[in-house]
Chain A
């Protein structure tokens, strides 16, 4: 950077040096910037296609795809690797993957959309993506239908049987039926987790936002979990009254808090304090979950947000889990425009911090 003193020049040269096509649009669809790779990939001949609408410079069918990308990015916050094909003049059709995300200004308000395009000539990658794509579709729809139906029958009928057994005072039957019901609820929870993950990964996590009082959600979650903990843990909520109502998906944010607090509980097997702290700092709302449990090694810290990662060898291995909780948590937090981080040391407990931007006070995420 030593020779580039002007930050603008630096940014431009950075964009030009990327091996991807990059196009930045404002909210009206005007092209704010497009690097040369992008003009080449989309077959645009205009030398300086800036400050014009993409609708005026792109070939009709690409324009349609870009419009779709813009719409989907606006409503979901981001779009991952949508495949598009472009007929570049006489050349055969070229397959590309396009991703989109929201561009925000200093106040965190949506200011436009960044589209990134990469060519997928490498057939290996293409095949892999096709495979993944198929898996994703099949997975979400078949899990929904083929697993939830039998599970509904098991849960529903065991509930009825349980009522019948209770009416007839059959204590042994009641006990076994309670186990069936409890375990099928657990199974149902796991399936729910897998589906959440699949939705997050395919960019299909639809946020249903409304005004949420975080303090209420925290106390609801703590109420549920303190029943589960059976008095072993000391749950505390220290939520600042300064925290404004935020536009959030209540159900998803509740899942975030539920995942973090149940980890805090699970990974302090000896019991101890679990504290949820909420406050406003600068332009953000902080939500922290503190525990005095087993803590995490450097190794665990560097992998904990990976799918199906679970610590092996340590104390954590004895605690049951699927290793999806944190991946989902992170996905939900990011879909709201927030971030998540951790501080921890073995034997010293952990602190998970969720940071949500204060602009969620007045604005819906990604709207």
Chain B
């Protein structure tokens, strides 16, 4: 089955970039949300296998959203990949503590990004 990925970032161009990078792989279904609130509203309907999550967003930021997703009781664990301009070490430490699976510091490398996503999604049962 096609894996679903939800992109959460307040920057429209970054969402466009991540969408393009993922769609070039030709095997994912992609949706977007512009902040944490919008992301949480999309969870039930879209049922993503993986969420790409920015940290600094107006309103509800990535840390809160990450905690929210982890607090949901679900049948399968949604993968979370943090992507942010926050220093790699700090972002990585905090996101990992909050239960994210991986963290990329912006600017990230396109092919490293898609490789990691692919690797994480392989762990998700179909």
Question: Which of A's residues lie within 8 Å of B, judged by CB?
Answer: 141, 144-145, 147-153, 155-157, 159-160, 188, 195, 199, 206, 208, 251
A152 to B13, CA, bound (A): 9
Nearest-neighbor residue (CB-CB) of B10 within chain A: A149
Extra pairs beyond A153-B16, A195-B87, A206-B93 (8, CB < 8 Å)? A144-B86, A148-B85, A149-B85, A159-B110, A160-B20, A160-B110, A188-B107, A199-B87
Given contacts A145-B56, A151-B107, contact A156 B87 (CB under 8 A): no
Against A, the Cβ 8 Å flags (1 = close, 0 = not) of B7-18 are 000010110110
A150, A153, A156, most chain B CB atoms within 10 A: A156
18 contacts between A and B (CB under 8 A): A144-B56, A144-B86, A144-B87, A148-B85, A152-B14, A152-B17, A152-B106, A153-B13, A156-B21, A156-B107, A157-B20, A159-B110, A160-B20, A160-B21, A206-B89, A206-B90, A208-B89, A251-B89
- Chain A residues near B11: list those with CB within 8 A: 149, 153
Q: Is B115 an interface residue (CB 8 A)?
A: no
Q: Is the CB of B56 within 8 A of A157?
A: no
Q: Is B108 an interface residue (CB 8 A)?
A: yes
Nearest-neighbor residue (CB-CB) of B86 within chain A: A144
A144 to B90, CA, bound (A): 12
Count of B interface residues, CB-CB < 8 Å = 20
CB distance from A251 to the nearest CB of B (A): 8
CB distance from A138 to the nearest CB of B (A): 13
Q: Is B24 an interface residue (CB 8 A)?
A: yes
CB distance from B3 to the nearest CB of A (A): 21
A176 to B39, CA, bound (A): 38
CB distance from A181 to the nearest CB of B (A): 11
- Overall SS of chain A's interface: helix
Out of A141, A153, A188, name the residue touching B14 (CB < 8 Å).
Answer: A153
Q: Is the CB of A160 within 8 A of B24?
A: yes
Q: Is the CB of A144 within 8 A of B17?
A: no
- Chain A residues near B89: list those with CB within 8 A: 206, 208, 251
Given contacts A145-B85, A160-B20, A199-B87, contact A152 B56 (CB under 8 A): no
CB distance from B19 to the nearest CB of A (A): 11
Sorted nearest first, the 5 A-B pairs with minimum C-beta distance are A148-B85, A152-B107, A144-B85, A153-B13, A156-B17
Nearest-neighbor residue (CB-CB) of A157 within chain B: B17
Q: Is the CB of B107 within 8 A of A155?
A: yes
Within 8 A of A (CB), among B12-34: 13-14, 16-17, 20-21, 24
- Chain B residues near A157: list those with CB within 8 A: 17, 20
Against A, the Cβ 8 Å flags (1 = close, 0 = not) of B94-126 are 000000000000111010000000000000000
Within 8 A of A (CB), among B49-94: 56, 84-87, 89-90, 93
- Chain A residues near B107: list those with CB within 8 A: 148, 151-152, 155-156, 188
CB distance from A155 to the nearest CB of B (A): 5
- Chain B residues near A199: list those with CB within 8 A: 87
A148, A155, A188, A195, most chain B CB atoms within 10 A: A148
- Chain B residues near A149: list those with CB within 8 A: 11, 13-14, 85, 106
A199 to B11, CA, bound (A): 25
Q: Is the CB of B87 within 8 A of A148?
A: no
CB distance from A365 to the nearest CB of B (A): 15
CB distance from A4 to the nearest CB of B (A): 47
A251 to B87, CA, bound (A): 13
Q: Is the CB of A156 within 8 A of B85?
A: no
CB distance from A116 to the nearest CB of B (A): 27
- Chain B residues near A153: list those with CB within 8 A: 11, 13-14, 16-17
